[in-house]
Structure 1
Amino acid sequence: MSDPMRPRASLRTAVVWEVLKDALDRRVKATGRESHSLDVLDTGGGSGNFAVPVARLGHRVTVVDPSPNALFALERRAAEAGVADRVRGVQGDVHGLFDVVERAGFDAVLCHGVLEYVDDPAEGVRNAVSALRPSGTLSLLAAGLGGAVLARALAGHFTEARQALGDPAGRWGDGDPVPRRFTAEQLTDLVEGTGIRVDAVHGVRVFADLVPGVLVDTEPGALEALLKLEAAAAELAAFHSVATQLHVLGETRDADEA
């Protein structure tokens, strides 16, 4: 995934980025801090696809990722963007999160593309929420079951599509590179199971992965029109069942905000 601020990459990231940016803005206003700077944790943040743009907004970002290579790329990317002083990379994962960061130390936690690969998604979500301060924002992004089923069917792989539908992990076969997929209901249950409220669910890449890239690249105005279509469909529950990814926004509130 590329930087969400780059136009072509925005097909994959625009919906999440806009929702996340608005949520961080609300969190800044809620904290009432003069610095207008938040402490943000990006678990599984890799090379900084979201961390660097978040740091550009003026926030301090800690990225936890198991890959040394990804963290090296993060360091280089943050330096090139002029935000090296606001981005810190730490080797680790969501299951051992509190071996490397403190509990209740962050205003916002990003958990993007993590739950598909961990042994215990429920524990992963619990740890992400436990890293939040009493008033904080959780941004959760994971692979959607329906999008994979639709993609296999449209490619003519009908048996694989049916297998994904019936598989507990949403996998279409041994060659499937994604270990686990989720429905919107499964993700909201995981978040609500921690005791925090789900504020919104968004379908991500509802159309983008189905539209031929050559059309988007060559047809005048196609990219902008497709971005607007993705944004319009994102919050409609009817499209959650066919989205490639699902985004869940959860927020905890302390007594002063309730």
Structure 2
Amino acid sequence: MSDPMRPPVSHPRATSPHTDPSRSRASLRTAVVWEVLKDALDRRVKAAGSQTLDVLDTGGGSGNFAVPAARLGHRVTVVDPSPNALFALERRAAEAGVADRVRGVQGDVSGLFDVVERDAYDAVLCHGVLEYVEEPTEGVRNAVGALRSGGVLSLLAAGLGGAVLARALAGHFKEARTALDDPAGRWGEGDPVPRRFTAEQLSRLVGDAGVDVGAVHGVRVFADLVPGVLVDTEPGAFQELLKLEAAAAELPAFHAVATQLHVLGVKQVTDET
């Protein structure tokens, strides 16, 4: 039975290399997430009855998603621990002509309510954050706590299966096995990522925090495995790879080998007024 709290699942559309929030080859890493997020914001606009949403981007850095969201007309607050990233965000927002709709605040998801209010946002982005916090459960709960009832959560984190596959294809079979067996999904002391997740783990974290999971997407299923020279030199290869990424994103069979996993959900509606 379908859940009315869950956003309808739509197939991500391939994005051209000149479409925000990224450019050229980098769009292979963001296209699926951006298209899904943009659709979710559109649905939230209709549900809220307002063309302008309040969006919070935790760990938003220099504004890869924040600036494009502001260009859609939304008010965006970016919380990031790096002063350099926030300076780059300010400059990027000014260049895009949305400086009046983008605000940068130094902080992190663990101390989120030291810098932003609870229950104040229509959408919260938590991208590339859970891998690095000491308590992922707390991080998700804080992100959800910043949402208004019925608000949208966009969560992006490193996938375990993608790391295992990448190490194996590189011939590092012992490291691949280590990552597979390690509770945090790390392949060794030299691994720069402190923690990785499966789709089931992320969905459980989100669900336990009071969010109805609407869709899970595999991100960078093929992009990190295809030789760059092939994508850059073969005519039409870039666009075809974008289409392939979009087509595979929602298929559960590919979640297990994705470099990143994206979970989209809606905060459960409460009876409180």
User: TM-score of the superposition, structure 2-length normalised?
Assistant: 0.91
TM-fit CA distance, 1:200: 0.3
Equivalent runs, 1:19-168 vs 2, <5 Å = 19-33=36-50, 36-168=51-183
The number of residues matched between the two structures is 253
Cross-structure match for 1:169: 184
**Deviations 1:193-245 (CA, angstroms, capped at 9, x unpaired):** 01220000000000000000111111111010000000000000000000000
Asked if the contact 1:47/1:77 (under 8 Å) is kept, the reply is yes
TM-fit CA distance, 1:9: 1.7
Asked if the contact 1:117/1:179 (under 8 Å) is kept, the reply is yes
Cross-structure match for 1:229: 244
Q: State whether structure 2 residue 261 is matched by structure 1 residue 242.
A: no
Q: State whether structure 2 residue 4 is matched by structure 1 residue 4.
A: no
Cross-structure match for 1:205: 220
Distance (whole Å) between structure 2 residues aligned to residue 127 and residue 70 of structure 1: 22
TM-fit CA distance, 1:253: 4.7
Distance (whole Å) between structure 1 residues aligned to residue 90 and residue 55 of structure 2: 16
Distance (whole Å) between structure 2 residues aligned to residue 28 and residue 241 of structure 1: 32
Distance (whole Å) between structure 1 residues aligned to residue 211 and residue 249 of structure 2: 22
Cross-structure match for 1:187: 202
Asked if the contact 2:61/2:80 (under 8 Å) is kept, the reply is yes
Q: State whether structure 2 residue 234 is matched by structure 1 residue 219.
A: yes
TM-fit CA distance, 1:10: 1.2
Please give the secondary structure, in 1, of the residue aligned with 2:196: coil
**Deviations 1:33-57 (CA, angstroms, capped at 9, x unpaired):** 2xx0100000000111110111111
Q: Call closer, same or farther: CA 1:180–1:255 in 2, change over 3 Å.
A: closer
Unaligned stretches of 5+ residues in structure 1: none
TM-fit CA distance, 1:183: 0.3
Asked if the contact 2:78/2:105 (under 8 Å) is kept, the reply is yes
Asked if the contact 2:210/2:268 (under 8 Å) is kept, the reply is no
TM-fit CA distance, 1:19: 0.3
TM-fit CA distance, 1:255: 6.3
Asked if the contact 1:5/1:53 (under 8 Å) is kept, the reply is no
Please give the secondary structure, in 2, of the residue aligned with 1:186: helix
Please give the secondary structure, in 2, of the residue aligned with 1:199: strand
Please give the secondary structure, in 1, of the residue aligned with 2:109: coil
TM-fit CA distance, 1:6: 2.0
User: TM-score of the superposition, structure 1-length normalised?
Assistant: 0.96
Distance (whole Å) between structure 1 residues aligned to residue 53 and residue 90 of structure 2: 20
The two structures, once aligned, show a CA RMSD in angstroms of 1.3
Unaligned stretches of 5+ residues in structure 2: 1-17
Asked if the contact 2:160/2:180 (under 8 Å) is kept, the reply is yes
Asked if the contact 2:22/2:64 (under 8 Å) is kept, the reply is no
Residue type of the partner of 2:233?
A: T
TM-fit CA distance, 1:61: 0.3
**Deviations 1:146-200 (CA, angstroms, capped at 9, x unpaired):** 0000000000000000000000100000000000000000000000001220000
Please give the secondary structure, in 2, of the residue aligned with 1:242: coil
Asked if the contact 2:127/2:157 (under 8 Å) is kept, the reply is yes
Residue type of the partner of 1:7?
A: S
TM-fit CA distance, 1:8: 2.3
